[in-house]
Amino acid sequence: MPFDMNLVQRGARLRRSPFFEATQRYGAKAYTVYNHMLFPICFADLEEEYWHLVHHVTLWDVCVERQVEITGPDAFTFTNMLTPRDLARCAVGQGKYVVITAENGGIINDPVLLRLGENHFWLAAADSDVLLWARGVAVNSGLRVEIREPDVSPLQVQGPKAKEVARTLFGDRVLQLRYYHFFETGLDGIPVVVTRTGWSGEVGYEIYLRDGSRGDELWERIMEAGRPHNIRPTGPSDIRRIEAGILNWGADMTPENNVYEVGLDYLVDGNKRSDYIGREALQRIKAEGVKRKLVGIEIDGARIEMNATKWRAKVGGDTVGRVTSAIYSPRLKKNIGYATVPVAYAAPGTGLRVKMSGIGERRATVVPKPFVDPNKQIPKA
């Protein structure tokens, strides 16, 4: 049994997305809360939705990726200060997966950044108020920036048929769109930004709605274009993203972690000239080497349900780390996941024991990530 509990929305504190009515109409049966908003994560059955993502195409309401918009004459300088990636190498019309770092190098958030103009940026935030972080940093920065949440609501269209759906909607230009690039356009007059990004490891796009009053229209327009390709609304798939080695901020990485611990070294541009928050700490951490690492693991035995707490990872009776995400992959027919462990136990082949709450201990082994290599032909069923 997956961990499942009755949660109640009480009062109007939690925000609903412009697609909320549509998700209700299409039978969303489970919502979680993310960035203070309701997030539809299941419409039918999680494994059925996984297979649909792998074979066909799926539509996700990811408005919970709330946007932080940075504008003003110093917007480039300011935004470039928030991340170890060198935004001088990010052209207008281009996006980047970035980490937002604290002074100690900790990962405050891992948004997709879009550069809409020389001095115009969006950050599509994971589950922490990076809007408040950025506004706080701006207070004493002496830079002329405006930082706010714009009226922007993203959807994801993910799966092998996503390209055909996007082509029906936006024409052949989507076929030329490179990974992490985007264009601004309209769909029957609905203003959108279309990006070649996603959280699935499959081909996919995000469609950022720029007028919250037209959510229902956009949703139906995408469903219509997707019908010949068997599109269906689902939540994001933890099975698929773990197979792909994608990390979930808040579970697999938190402000207690830095990029070197979680294998996101490539998000630091070593040659970046301008200063940024966390630079000194990251240089020191890199020079000294990290003490623990996030590794891939396989857990022996029968199919597990996804962890709802961070299970203990043990060696010789001692707790040495934590399992941050773990799930059964029906394609690999294995229990796969991630654990943070001391570097001494990070080598592939290392034996661990995992203590699963309420279930007991199982043997586990450190393995390389990702579990599904995008360049290898892995049977899809």
Chain residues that interact with a second copy, rule: CB under 8 A = 2-14, 16, 29-34, 36, 38, 41-42, 102-103, 108, 127-130, 132-142, 238, 248-251, 277, 306-310, 324-325
Residue 288 CB: number of other CB atoms within 10 A?
9
* DSSP three-state, residue 75: helix
Tell which phi-psi region holds residue 206, choosing left (phi > 0), alpha (psi between -120 and 50) or beta: beta
Q: Cβ of residue 162: shortest distance to a second copy, in angstroms?
A: 23
Cβ proximity to a second copy: between 225 and 244 the closer is 244
H/E element, 211: none
- Shortest distance in whole angstroms from residue 284 CB to a second copy: 18
Nearest approach in angstroms of CB 336 to a second copy is: 14
Beta carbon nearer to a second copy, 42 or 320: 42
In whole angstroms, give the CA distance from residue 146 to residue 69: 8
Q: Which is nearer to a second copy, 165 or 297 (CB)?
A: 297
Contacts 24+ apart (CB under 8 A), 144-147: 144/72, 144/73, 144/74, 145/70, 145/71, 145/72, 145/74, 145/75, 145/78, 146/69, 146/70, 146/71, 146/72, 147/68, 147/69, 147/70
Q: Output 131 or 169, the one with its CB closest to a second copy.
A: 131
Q: Which one, of 108, 88, 84, 110, lies nearest residue 97 by Cα?
A: 110
Q: How far is the CB of 76 from a second copy (least distance, A)?
A: 18
As measured in angstroms, the least distance from the Cβ of 253 to a second copy is: 11
Q: Which residue lies nearer to a second copy by CB, 223 or 306?
A: 306
Nearer to a second copy, 35 or 197 (CB): 35
Task: For residue 175, count CB atoms less than 10 angstroms from its CB and return exposed for 0-12, middle for 13-18, buried for 19 or more.
Answer: exposed
Q: Give the nearest distance from C-beta 77 to a second copy in angstroms.
A: 13
